Amino acid sequence: MIRLKRVYESPATKDGFRVLVERLWPRGITKAEAHLDLWMRGIVPSSDLRKWFGHDPAKWEQFSECYEKELAENHDLVKVLEQKS
């Protein structure tokens, strides 16, 4: 099971394996405070794709298709997540 949690929320014992999926390190938090097991900055949508999308709901379907293609190109990173879940 995958659960989502903001890195700024306090870690809990029930969190399990904690992965940060973000290109940039979050401001105002140290690596020790984050209690992460893995930081996967390379699995997020590319900067070009994020900028094109611009949080426009009308672009969601096309964004999803493009991101799936990017994930297919980063199959090794996806495998790491599959092994940890």
Alpha helices in 1-85 (DSSP H): 31-34, 47-53, 60-73, 75-84
pLDDT of the chain along its 85 residues, tens only? 788 999 999 999 899 899 999 999 999 999 999 999 999 998 999 999 999 999 999 999 999 999 999 999 888 888 887 787 6
pLDDT tens digits along 61-70: 999 999 999 9
| CB half-sphere exposure, 48, CA atoms < 13 A | 2
The tokens describing 45, both together, are: 């949508």
The residue behind tokens 């995958």 is 2
Residue with tokens 């999803």: 64
What predicted TM-score, i.e. pTM, was given to this entire model? Answer: 0.76
